[in-house]
């Protein structure tokens, strides 16, 4: 029986801006088992990072978790006070932040950036902390010579390895990697994905990998959540979603991936813009861009239902009984 390490239930995270309420994460539910990798994909602005930040309770103001539960190891962390939260953050759930490799401290040697939590949180001596930092560097494929270097002496890929070492320093159960390969060239991108794969295999950590690029997620994920406009529109085992995507948005995202081996053809793109999350359209948020939209789609929100074993889709194309019910009520 797989052991569940994370459960998100009906999570809502909104930003209260002067121009209105941005519903960045709107009723999202998902689960993650030990040693499992979940990929979260969707276009820019669909709420991926906001969802990730909320799992560490680090949503920046004016954002706030408005409703829902985030259960980690049986504890609902939305209810913890700051002292209790300290025991969970970085230790149970940790994160490689989007763009973090460009935010390393330029005047601090690499080893000390990795070792800081050992010295300040665990009270280790400098010598012990240095030894542990070198161990972590080795785990991410960098030798001891990197310990005393400064960030400007490292390449992009090496800096990203350092950031990964920092994120796994306190041996978290769940590691979130937010766009870990964006801005890296394809060769380095493949190396970083291999490193993450190795860490999952060797440490048993559960991984959430976030990317706007479905081909990055395909490399690693056991299951995938496709987000659109603050909601999950399709969720299930990777194999099923890549082979047999059901939601028109997932189908469109997959068609937009260039394929090296396929015959040459025009790359498709999704016309239109993602919705403004202050005033999302009524019904299905994808309806205005969907080439299969029906009248009900712009009226009523489709529920997320299981259309094939473990494959959930929020689309009226598959909710026949609900559609009929609605028709009878019209």
Ligand X SMILES: Nc1ncnc2c1ncn2[C@@H]1O[C@H](COP(=O)(O)OP(=O)(O)OP(=O)(O)O)[C@@H](O)[C@H]1O
| Binding footprint of ligand X on the chain (CB under 6 A) | 15, 17, 22, 24, 42, 44-50, 60, 62-63, 98, 212, 277
Query: Nearer to Mg ion by C-beta: 53 or 286?
Result: 53
Query: Nearer to ligand X by C-beta: 45 or 172?
Result: 45
Residue 103: CB minimum distance to ligand X, A: 15
323 binds, among Mg ion, ligand X, none (CB under 5 to 8 A by kind): none
44 binds, among Mg ion, ligand X, none (CB under 5 to 8 A by kind): ligand X
Is the Cβ–Cβ distance between 25 and 67 less than 8 Å? no
Per DSSP, what are the bridge partners of residue 25?
13
Query: Nearer to Mg ion by C-beta: 49 or 181?
Result: 49
39 binds, among ligand X, Mg ion, none (CB under 5 to 8 A by kind): none
HEC letters along the chain:
CCCEEEEEEEEEEEEEECCEEEEEEEEEEEEEECCCEEEEECCCCCCHHHHHHHHCCCCCCCEEEEEEEEEECCEEHHHCCHHHHHHHECCCEEEECCCHHHCCCCCCCHHHHHHHHHHHCCCCCHHHHHHHHHHHHHHCCCCHHHCCCCHHHCCHHHHHHHHHHHHCCCCCCEEEEECCCCCCCHHHHHHHHHHHHHHHHHHCCEEEEEECCHHHHHCCCCEEEEEECCEEEEEEEHHHHHHCCCCHHHHHHHHCCCCCCCCCCCCCCCCCCCCCCCCCCCCCCCHHHCCCCCHHHHCCCCCCEEEECCEEECCCCCCHHHHHHHHHHC
Residue 210: CB minimum distance to ligand X, A: 7
Positions 120 through 159 that interact with Mg ion (CB under 5 A): none
Query: Nearer to ligand X by C-beta: 141 or 288?
Result: 288
Number of Cβ within 10 Å of residue 19's Cβ equals 8
Query: Nearer to Mg ion by C-beta: 167 or 287?
Result: 167
Query: Nearer to ligand X by C-beta: 91 or 212?
Result: 212
Residue 25: CB minimum distance to Mg ion, A: 12
Of 158, 156, 155, 126, which is closest to residue 141 (Cα–Cα)?
Answer: 158
Positions 45 through 84 that interact with Mg ion (CB under 5 A): 49
Per DSSP, what are the bridge partners of residue 225?
40, 235
46 binds, among ligand X, Mg ion, none (CB under 5 to 8 A by kind): ligand X
274 binds, among ligand X, Mg ion, none (CB under 5 to 8 A by kind): none
Residue 275: CB minimum distance to ligand X, A: 9
Query: Nearer to ligand X by C-beta: 179 or 219?
Result: 179
Residue 211: CB minimum distance to ligand X, A: 8
Query: Nearer to ligand X by C-beta: 249 or 316?
Result: 249
Residue 35: CB minimum distance to Mg ion, A: 25
Which residues of the shown chain bind Mg ion in the complex (CB under 5 A)?
A: 49, 98
């Amino acid at each position: 029986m797989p052991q569940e390490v994370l459960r998100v239930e009906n999570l809502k995270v909104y930003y209260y801006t002067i121009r209105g309420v941005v519903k960045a994460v709107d009723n999202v539910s998902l689960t993650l088992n030990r040693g499992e990798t979940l990929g979260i994909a969707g276009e820019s602005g669909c709420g991926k990072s906001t969802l990730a930040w909320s799992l560490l309770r680090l949503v920046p103001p004016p954002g706030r978790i408005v409703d829902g539960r985030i259960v980690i190891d049986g504890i609902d962390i939305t209810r913890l006070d700051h002292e209790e939260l300290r025991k969970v953050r970085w230790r149970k759930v940790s994160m490689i932040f989007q763009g973090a490799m460009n935010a390393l401290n330029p005047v601090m040697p690499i080893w000390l950036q990795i070792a800081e939590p050992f010295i300040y949180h665990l009270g280790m001596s400098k010598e012990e902390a240095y030894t542990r930092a070198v161990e972590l560097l080795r785990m991410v494929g960098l030798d001891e010579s990197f310990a005393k270097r400064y960030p400007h002496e490292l390449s992009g890929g090496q800096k990203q390895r350092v950031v990964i070492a920092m994120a796994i320093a306190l041996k978290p159960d769940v590691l979130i990697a937010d766009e870990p390969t964006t801005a890296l060239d394809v060769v380095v991108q493949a190396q970083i994905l291999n490193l993450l794969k190795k860490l999952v295999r060797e440490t048993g950590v559960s991984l959430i990998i976030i990317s706007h690029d479905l081909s990055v997620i395909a490399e690693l994920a056991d299951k995938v959540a496709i987000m659109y406009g603050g909601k999950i529109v399709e969720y299930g085992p990777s194999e099923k979603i890549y082979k047999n995507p059901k939601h028109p948005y997932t189908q469109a995202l997959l068609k937009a991936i260039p394929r090296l081996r396929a015959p040459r053809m025009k790359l498709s793109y999704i016309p239109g813009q993602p919705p403004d999350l202050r005033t999302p359209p009524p019904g299905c948020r994808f309806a205005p861009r969907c080439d299969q939209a029906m009248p009900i789609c712009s009226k009523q929100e489709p529920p997320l239902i299981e259309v094939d074993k473990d494959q959930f889709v929020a689309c009226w194309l598959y909710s026949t009984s609900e559609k009929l019910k609605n028709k009878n009520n019209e």
